[in-house]
Amino acid sequence: MDLILASQSATRRRILNSARISARFMSPQIDEENITKSLNAEQAAPRDIADTLAEHKALKISRKNLDSWVIGCDQILVFEGEIFGKPASREALKDSLSRLSGQTHRLITANVIYKDCKPQWRHIAISHMSMRPMSAAEIDAYVAAYWQEVRHAAGGYHFERTPDLFSAVRGHWFDIMGLSIGPITGFLNQIGTNNPYQSPKLAAVLGHPIAQSKSPRMHGHWLQKNGISGDYIAIDIPSAHFNNTLNMLFDVGFSGFNVTIPHKEHALAFADHMSPRAQRIGAANTLIKTDSGDIRADNTDGYGFITNLSTQSETWQPKAGPALVLGAGGAARAILVALLDAGVPKIYLSNRTRARADDLAAEISDLIEVIDWQDKEDVLSEVFTVVNSTSLGMMGKAALEFDVTDINPHALVTDLIYAPSETQLLKDARARGCEVVGGIGMLLHQAVPGFEAWFGTRPEVDQELEALMLT
């Protein structure tokens, strides 16, 4: 099937790719502004305007590609009977957001498919978007941060970048993004294909900030390699709007999420059910929507940590003796529980702020002994596992001052940091005869259970993926 999308939109291209639909992409270059003005003068209904624009795009491409199936699409924003276009200036964007603030508007998404210059199928989707009230200061801050991104977007926002602007949404993610991929795959399957298409499943990683996350690259690799119809993106959500935005994202079609700083404890409280390990750790990094509609929370950090050690080392024996863990943040919490579950008989815990380590040890187990930061090297001769869960030694961060002169040469040393791939701690430990394990494997293995739950396939962690993630 020769399929053409009459658009050069990167978002619509991504949607087709996520559905594993092979297509060509052509820009129809129609005069949307004048067509819209003409239809407005005729008092055409907004949905008819969107539909007509989509038809013009498909027809123009179809005239030169008679044997191809051509998808035309258009989307307009309507509020109080007025069509909102792209903001012409920063002041126009401020005015647009001021009018939409605290109100509900409609996104009308029109999709048509042409062949031989004739319409074969059409679909209209209407999404109801309720924007939360925004103060003048919030609007000013938004315009300052996002003007360059949204100046070409109707209404002046990208829902996928800032869903927290909304208090409620009635619609589906792909309709809001501008291409109704579910109905489109249904039609394409009706007209015949050797491999039936499926509407993509959706997952994402949530955090604040989140731009640095490598999770989309990892999950995107697995989706592509396994030929799965699905997409995985990163979404930034400020803490103040976490619960409401999370509810909204589930409502628009997401199957689940990875959750990172600072939302892991909020994610656990949000869920209807939690795994025993998430309950013990007191935080969740994975949320899954079950078939019944309930939300289940899990924490796979400890699983990823232990799996990384066991697959990278042929000699590590957790029961051989005590462990030393540096750091008392969220990652340390999961690692402490995982080490104890693996059979480590005792753990020394050291953190720059001792009170935080004391609280963590008291909460988890009396098998954890807290030692002062300046005394952390004193136990090196007796421990068999050393874990750095701090950010010290990471690119752009302060160095980890850690003298391994007296380390037990039979100890395994691991660092959660994977940039650089081998930290100074690992280099120093290797020089003393210790076995060392880098942190990239934990990132990869902790993602496996969530991917399997969302997309129905258990992915493989291999050297190809590791190399991709380290580039």
Rounded to 5°, angle at Cα 242 from 361 and 169: 155
What does the alpha-carbon distance between residue 378 and residue 358 come to, in Å, rounded to a whole number? 18
* Catalytically annotated residue among 214, 264, 289, 376: 264
Contacts with 43 (C-beta within 8 Å, 6 or more apart), sequence order: none
* 115 labelled catalytic: no
What does the alpha-carbon distance between residue 394 and residue 452 come to, in Å, rounded to a whole number? 30
E strand residue ranges, 359-420 = 368-370, 385-388, 412-415
Helix, strand or coil for residue 25?
Answer: strand
Helix axes 215-225, 448-455, angle to 10 degrees: 50
E strand residue ranges, 215-285 = 230-236, 256-259, 273-274
| Residues 330 and 264: beta-carbon distance below 8 Å | yes
Q: What are phi and psi of 149, to 5 degrees?
A: -75, -40
Helix axes 301-312, 330-342, angle to 10 degrees: 60
Contacts with 398 (C-beta within 8 Å, 6 or more apart), sequence order: 392
CA distances to 123, 205, 208, 359, 418 from 394, rounded to whole Å, are 50, 22, 19, 26, 8
Query: Tokens representing 413?
Result: 């040393």
Rounded to 5°, angle at Cα 465 from 461 and 468: 160
| Residues 71 and 184: beta-carbon distance below 8 Å | yes
Residue type, 217: R
Question: How many CB atoms lie under 10 A from the CB of residue 293?
Answer: 8
H helix or E strand, kind and range, residue 278: helix 276-281
Environment class of residue 301 by beta-carbon count within 10 Å: exposed (0-12), middle (13-18) or buried (19+)?
buried
What does the alpha-carbon distance between residue 1 and residue 5 come to, in Å, rounded to a whole number? 13
How many whole angstroms from its chain centre is CA 149? 19
DSSP string for residues in 279-344: HHHT--SEEEE-TTS-EEEE--HHHHHHHHHHHH-SS--GGGS-EEEE--SHHHHHHHHHHHHHT-
Indicate which residues carry an active-site annotation.
264
